[in-house]
Amino acid sequence: MDFTRKSLSLLLVVTFIFFLPVAGLAASKFTIKPKVTASWRMDTNFFKAEDIEREVYTYALQPGIELGFRTAKSKILVDYTLNIYRYHDRDPVPPGQQPASDDDYNGHTLIFQARHKLTDRLLIGLDNSHYRTRDPSQTDRFDDSVVREKYFVNRFTPMLYYDFGEKFTLSLRYRNTIIEYLDDAGVYEDSTEDRGMFDLIYNFSRTASFDFEYQHWRKDYDMVTSDYNSDQINLIFRKEFKVVSFGVGGGYHERDFDNPALDDIDVWNYIITVLAERERADVDSPPRNYIRLTSERNFNDQGLGDRYYIATTFTVDAGRVFMEKIKVDITASYQKSEFEKTYGLTPEGTIELREDDTFHISADIGYMFTDWLTFTITGGYKDRDSNLAGYDYLNKYFIAKLDFSYDLGKK
C-alpha cells in the first residue's frame, strides 16, 4: 500500500542522514548478525475452543538478519525476520470445520531503531516496527483474543529528548499505528491510531527519577466500531539499586466515544515493576540471573465491536544460567478482564457483564552449545475461565526450538 512505500522510503532517508555525521570514524562498531530459528510446537487446543478441542502441530522456520551501527553519538538497528508457519492436524478434521493447514502463511517482522545525539542535551530518534502475523497479541498488550486472522500492524514513532541540565529531561514522542486485516475483508475492521506522548522527568540522582507522563490518542475504525479519544495522565517513580530496581506509578485514564449510544469510560490505572538481576555482560545482553514482578491495570486499546475491558495483570518472570550452559526461564501470569459492555444473558434472562480470568504458566530449559547456538524446550499451560458460556478454554503446549545467531562483526 502507499503508506508502506512511504514508510520504507522515509526509513532509507533517515538511515542515510544518521550515517552521514559518523561515517568513517574509527570508534564506530558494526553488527552483522545472521540468524535462524527452527521450531516444532504441539497445542492440545490450537483454536482455543470451549468444547471441540483440536490438537495441532506447528512447524516454523524463521531466518533473518540484524544489522547495526553504533558510535559514541549514534545508533542504528535494522532487524528483519521471515516467519514461515505451517500447521498440521493430528487427527481427522471434524465435519464442517476447516483444516489447520488453511492457516499456513509467511509472516514478516521488521524492526528499525535510530538514535542520534545532536548536542550534549538533545537526542533525536525514530522507531518503526512492522509485523505481518496471525498472532493477536501484537494488536494490544492486554489482548487475549482467540482470533487467528492474518493482519499487519505498523508502528511509526519519531521522538525527541532534551536535558535541561542534570535534573530535568523532556521527552516528546508521536506514534502512528496502522492495523490492517489481509483476509476476510469486511469482517474484521482496520484501524488507525495517532498518539502523542509527553514526559517531564525529574532526576533526583543518577539512580532515582520522577516522571510526569501525559498521553492523548485518537483511534479510528473503518466500519461500525466507534472511534474514540483517550487521555491518560500518570506519575511514576523509578529507583535503581545495585541489584534491584523498581518503578511504581499510577494515574487516570478517560476514554470518550464518538457514538452517543456508548457511555464514556474511565479508570484509575497503575503500573508496578520490580526487577532483581545479576551478572549482566553488557547493556545489550539479557541478564544471566533475574527475577521480575510486574502488575498493571488499564483499558485495552484494540476493541473491535466496542469490546473494551479493564485488564488487571500480575506477572512473575525468573531465569537462571547453570554451569554456564543450561538456561532456565519460568513465567507465570494472571489477567482479569472486566468488560465494560454486555455480551450475554444469564439462563434467567438477566444481563450479565462478562469477566474473564486467564492463567498462563510456561517453563523453558535451554542448552547453550555455544554463544550462538541454543536448543530450548518449553512447556506451557493456559486457562481462561469466563462467567459467560462460550469463552472458556484450556490449552497445553510443548515447543522444541533451535536458535542460531552469529555476530559476523564480533571481534
| Residue 262 located in a structural domain | yes
- Closest of 312, 248, 250 to residue 274, by C-alpha: 248
β partners of residue 337: 311, 356
How many domains does the structure of the chain reveal? 1
What is the CATH classification number for the domain harbouring 315?
2.40.160
Report yes or no on 410 lying in a domain.
Answer: no
Position 304 in a domain: yes
Residues of the domain holding 195: 2-405
pLDDT of residue 381: 96
Query: What does the pLDDT look like over 351-375, one tens digit per residue?
Result: 678 899 999 999 999 999 998 999 9
Would you state the pLDDT for residue 351?
Answer: 65
Looking at residue 324, what is its pLDDT? Answer: 85
User: Which of these ranges, 72-86, 269-283, 336-350, has the smallest mean pLDDT?
Assistant: 336-350
Identify the pLDDT of residue 344: 45
Per the domain annotation, does 74 fall within a domain?
A: yes
Out of 52-66, 75-89, 180-194, 276-290, which region has the weakest mean confidence (pLDDT)? Answer: 276-290
Contacts 24+ apart (CB under 8 A), 187-192: 187/149, 188/147, 188/149, 188/151, 188/304, 189/221, 189/222, 189/223, 189/224, 189/225, 189/304, 190/221, 190/222, 191/219, 191/220, 191/221, 191/222, 191/225, 191/302, 192/219, 192/220
Of the two residues 21 and 54, the one the predictor is more confident about is 54
Average pLDDT of the residues in 255-265: 91
Q: Are 98 and 72 in contact, with CB atoms under 8 Å apart?
A: no
Is residue 411 in a domain? no
For 383, counting Cβ atoms within 10 Å of its Cβ (0-12 exposed, 13-18 middle, 19+ buried), the class is middle
Q: What is the pLDDT of residue 342?
A: 41
Q: Is residue 272 part of a domain?
A: yes
Give dist(CA 171, CA 251) in Å, integer.
Answer: 18
Work out the average pLDDT over 13-37: 67
- Assess whether pLDDT exceeds 50 at residue 406: yes
Three cell numbers, residue 114: 535510530
pLDDT computed for residue 6 by the predictor = 53
pLDDT (average), residues 298-316: 93
